[in-house]
Amino acid sequence: MASSQAYLLGLLILICSTSIGTAKHMKYKNSTLPVEIRVNDLLKRMTLAEKIGQMTQIERKDASADVMKNYFIGSLLSGGGSVPKPQASAEDWVDMINDFQNGCLATRLGIPMIYGIDAVHGHNNVYGSTIFPQNIGLGATRDPDLVKRIGAATALEVRATGIPYTFAPCIAVCRDPRWGRCYESYSEDQKIVQAMTEIIPGLQGDVPANYQKSYPYVAGKNNVAACAKHFVGDGGTHNGINENNTIIDYHGLMGIHMPAYYDAVYKGVSTVMVSYSSWNGVKMHADRKLVTGFLKNKLQFKGFVISDWQGIDRITSPPGANYTYSVQAGVSAGIDMIMVPENYVEFINDLTLLVNKKVIPMSRINDAVRRILRVKFIMGLFEKPLADLSLADQLGKKEHRELAREAVRKSLVLLKNGKSKNMPLLPLSKKVSKILVAGIHANNLGYQCGGWTIEWQGASGNITIGTTILDAIKATINPTTNVVYSENPDANFIKGNNFSYAVVVVGEPPYAETNGDSSNLKISDPGASTIQTVCGAVKCVVVIVSGRPVVIQPYISSIDALIAAWLPGTEGQGVADVLFGDYGFTGKLPRTWFKSVDQLPMNIGDKHYDPLFPLGFGLTTKPASKS
């Protein structure tokens, strides 16, 4: 009996010591070791299937815990509007993400997945989050510190839902407002875009002194991995057509579209997303010279390169015409993680075949996986793979909404103030008998926020929690002032009401990407007729809610005051703050305002430069007296 007990005890000691020894030898699990040692150790242990799984990013709707486990999937994403359920809470998000993550942790090596989302102007997919002004508005602020603070607030709200990675910022240099993504660009001026890369240390945290240059960095659980996009030249496509060809020489590409990537990489950006567009006929998703030769080798970027949604499919025309070739071209160009996002089995099978046939060398696969693992280790995903609710109270937080309101105030650009310099209309008086608020954008939160808000294309109406411009006006004026709202009043209605003045809020409907491409840049009907009717009958200030300059010259003579409000987001109170003089106007045009679309493309420095309002234009006012 005693001898059998001794045997069992010895066996137990042997098993325990073997386990301890195994754990000790699994360097990748040792958080005290340098990242590169951990990456090398894990990479040596991985099979080809596990490596290719790491290179695969799929949409959450096509995922399950079993899919994550069986295919060793390395990343998930939410596409625009892809949520656990309508008006999902932070807890709903965390529970969903952890369910997927547990599938990954159940694999042989337990490599955690990284979840990404388009938090491009706040955590814009999520109900109740703070929606900041779109990038074009932030470009009007000329305030990199403000943008950095917005990055930090956005990171907290993204982390509140258990997500550690955002596909932001877009550092495109929009050279033609006809482009449907122009509002995602800070400016036509690359220097302004470069300055706004301060959002990266806001999202990721400040890179420590003496940190390795071009090496990805994420400070901790309050920060997220960022993604500079879309590499490179996406804002310079011919005629502003989305995903089109950027026709420009090497000097022009480097001088206009590349500078912000120097800044992004220098600031430790973790990932870079490749553009759908082409450069002089070569698809960026297949451009090895730029992706590997320039970004990875010349700029020495050490994070991972990710494709856009079905980006490799679009290497061929029509998309997906030769998928195996697209996989070969995209991975060979230097793309490390492929946003599949649906047909992951076909992608995995094709890439496996290409490697086994030695069409794609194992060294290319190892480079891709090394970069992905590097970012995951730097983020602390191996130490803390599961999300929690410790930051749930950050979602839509009061302080973040105040920050967004500040951003709105600073983004407004005053283009005209009075029909003569001696008779300014702004700031408006809060204490008058009756005012008219008109226009279909005055009381529409969805229109205020634009695309990439709750839904991919955005939507109309009360799509989330926020303050419309109409609500903001009502909250700001004197209680004795009667506010009358009419979307599109007729002249008789206006003449019969004896209004002191009118605020007309018009602009564009929400849109995203190709759906926003426009050859005419007209404001939505009945916006033009609303301006003409109202401004022909009463003193008026026109507020343009749009993602870019729009046609306004035909109506400008009838307008007393004109404001470019861009797409301000949920905090419409920021508009009223400046309209009524609690704060002064300080914003400057982030891009040229054309007279006619026939002039386009037209940017500062062009020989034919003849704008309605030039880049950098913006009248200023001082806050009204508080007496």
H-helix or E-strand spanning residue 325: helix 323-333
Residue pair 327/354 in contact (Cβ under 8 Å)? The answer is yes
- The question of whether 308 is a catalytic residue gets the answer yes
31 to 26, 108, 112, 163, 404: CA distances (angstroms): 11, 19, 15, 21, 37
Amino acid identity for residue 14 in this structure? L
Identified catalytic residue from 513, 560, 571, 577: 513
Pairing of strands 75-78, 271-274: unpaired
Identified catalytic residue from 188, 308, 350, 455: 308
- The question of whether 383 is a catalytic residue gets the answer no
H-helix or E-strand spanning residue 114: strand 114-117
Tokens coding 290: 């730029």
For 427-542, where are the alpha helices, taking DSSP H only? Answer: 445-449, 469-476, 491-495, 527-535
Tokens coding 484: 């009358």
Amino acid identity for residue 545 in this structure? V
| Sequence-separated (6 or more) residues with CB below 8 Å from residue 244 | 237, 238, 277, 278
DSSP SS3 for 22? helix
Report d(CA 39, CA 115) in Å as an integer. Answer: 20
Residue pair 330/286 in contact (Cβ under 8 Å)? The answer is yes
Pairing of strands 278-279, 282-283: antiparallel
Nearest by Cα to 487 from 452, 514, 524: 524
DSSP class of residue 460 equals S
Tokens coding 520: 């005419």
Q: What is the DSSP string of 287-313?
A: -HIIIIIIIIIIS---SEEEPPTTTTG
Amino acid identity for residue 608 in this structure? H
Q: 454-459 — which CB contacts under 8 Å span 24+ positions?
A: 454/81, 454/124, 454/125, 454/127, 455/80, 455/81, 456/79, 456/80, 456/81, 456/512, 457/80, 457/510, 457/511, 457/512, 457/515, 458/510, 458/511, 458/512, 459/510
Nearest by Cα to 174 from 133, 118, 230: 230
CB atoms within 10 A of CB 524: 18
Residue pair 43/366 in contact (Cβ under 8 Å)? The answer is yes
Phi, psi (rounded to 5 degrees) for 51: -70, -45
Report d(CA 118, CA 326) in Å as an integer. Answer: 24
Tokens coding 72: 């060793």
Residue pair 148/202 in contact (Cβ under 8 Å)? The answer is yes
Positions annotated as catalytic residues are: 308, 513
